[in-house]
A and B are shown apart, each in its own frame.
Chain A
């Protein structure tokens, strides 16, 4: 069993702080102002906040046991770490074929048009709590085993 990120739509207000926290965490400086104002590469979040009227929630990579993004990757850029369970994406290897975008059942692999590569959640390697979960003011995203 591994901990995964789950959303609670009942308490999400769609503030999108999780997207900002994610983008900043994956920026060079990890500083919100510098990431958005000074870095040459625009920060890109790995999560998706969906919204329809009052209904909002975040959708995150679920680090599947049998990940389709890994199966379809023609470049070997997507790898399931069998020890941690995390599905990692080596952006250097990504060929920009978008196969993972076509395959991901949660629709959580994002096209980064500037880089011609995809980006995805790495569960914030090195942190005990993913940045999106920590940033949520309503505890509408949880990190737990289910």
Chain B
């Protein structure tokens, strides 16, 4: 079998490793638009802040492609998929034929239409090149405005602040981190970011990027307020990069739709990662969940299936772990439940920067938000993915020192006996 993978992020790496678990010899081609070996995308924040150097962003050994028998087409953009011919035509005209194909093209930043947004001085923050460009820009400007107070925007803000740049974050919602976290968690992180000197403007947005002789000079916000700045980072959101399947008949919704085996509507063609709309464990439906763990696990599962395994994807769930200036945070599953049908337990000690919340539905753990204390939080992940009935320990889960000893013997022994 000849395998072709379009994309070279973590889903692609997962797929290569998944294929090789089943098929040690079938030729694999990886088509990478970016001219780099696979790197840890979230690490671009550490790179921009100066905590690590470029050699540290690559997360598999130098010989990963060679040792896995991969023909690595670096810096080559895939153009179109010819479904009937089982072939991919690259933008340079080369055709690459496949037996099984994985589309792992990831996401692209959403750039809203806005006066002044075209031209130099406007950046996104999802690729290694983005980080390098911002590093260049950072030496030349005093202030940078970041549009968007989500995970990517705040990590860009933190990194730029660490480089000594004045940073203003403008967020449309009335709180930061509104999608992955809840209000209390957002408030604690917001307070910390303000403490270190990052300006945060809520319930506002940038209406215009002001330029003089083409160069960014500032932004005008919805309420007319202006900030002088030398550059703008747009971090509003990421959308599935699915242009490659247009006109192929491969079914899409928000992302590329897959079945439980990560196969698309066209047999032999699979999708994984931020471009895929795959089953979600907790929601019981398909969903685009553009986070690292799902991308790797989907890629790996897709790879194994491409090589002939019949392994169902267990379903992903949202999970984020991220630290802001010494405050660790974790969010999992449903972090902002509707009132109906969900129960919430919480511990909120804002003066100590501690906040811990669990979300329950029918005595099953379906979500958690943890700020300030996240140790052993994987035990909660296990309870969530195992759909464990936690009625008997609901009052204990948020206690300090919660662990297997807090569980009834049968629950504890069942989890500890499993080899995963």
- Report A's interface with B, CB cutoff 8 A: 4, 7, 48, 50-52, 55-57, 59, 62, 64-68, 71-77, 93, 95-107, 109-111, 146
Contact = CB atoms under 8 A, between A and B. Distances in A.
Q: Which 9 A-B pairs have the closest CB atoms?
A: A76-B59, A105-B382, A107-B376, A104-B378, A52-B405, A50-B405, A107-B379, A64-B420, A74-B40
Contacts of A146: 419
A73 B295 CA distance: 12
A101 B376 CA distance: 6
B91 interface: no
Nearest to B383: A105
Interface stretch (B41-49, B125-133, B345-353): B41-49
A6 to B, nearest CB: 8
28 contacts: A4-B419, A48-B376, A57-B405, A59-B404, A65-B419, A65-B420, A68-B293, A68-B381, A74-B40, A74-B41, A75-B43, A76-B58, A76-B59, A97-B322, A98-B321, A98-B374, A100-B378, A101-B330, A101-B374, A101-B377, A103-B378, A104-B381, A105-B385, A106-B382, A106-B415, A107-B378, A107-B382, A111-B375
B323 A98 contact: yes
A71 B404 contact: no
B419 A64 contact: yes
B323 to A, nearest CB: 7
B405 A93 contact: no
Given A51-B405, A74-B40, A102 B381 contact: yes
Contacts of B406: 52
Interface string B381-420: 1100100000000000000000111100000000110011
Contact of B293 (A75, A99, A101, A105): A99
A106 B321 CA distance: 17
Most buried by B among A51, A65, A104, A109: A104
A77 B58 CA distance: 10
Interface in B194-214: none
Contact of B319 (A4, A64, A103, A107): A103
Nearest to B301: A66
Given A62-B420, A64-B420, A102-B330, A96 B323 contact: yes
Contacts of B374: 98, 101-102, 111
B420 A72 contact: no
Most buried by A among B43, B56, B378, B404: B378
Given A74-B59, A101-B377, A107 B403 contact: yes
Given A55-B405, A64-B419, A105 B379 contact: yes
Contacts of B59: 73-77, 93
B14 interface: yes
A101 B416 CA distance: 17
B60 interface: yes
Nearest to B386: A105
B145 interface: no
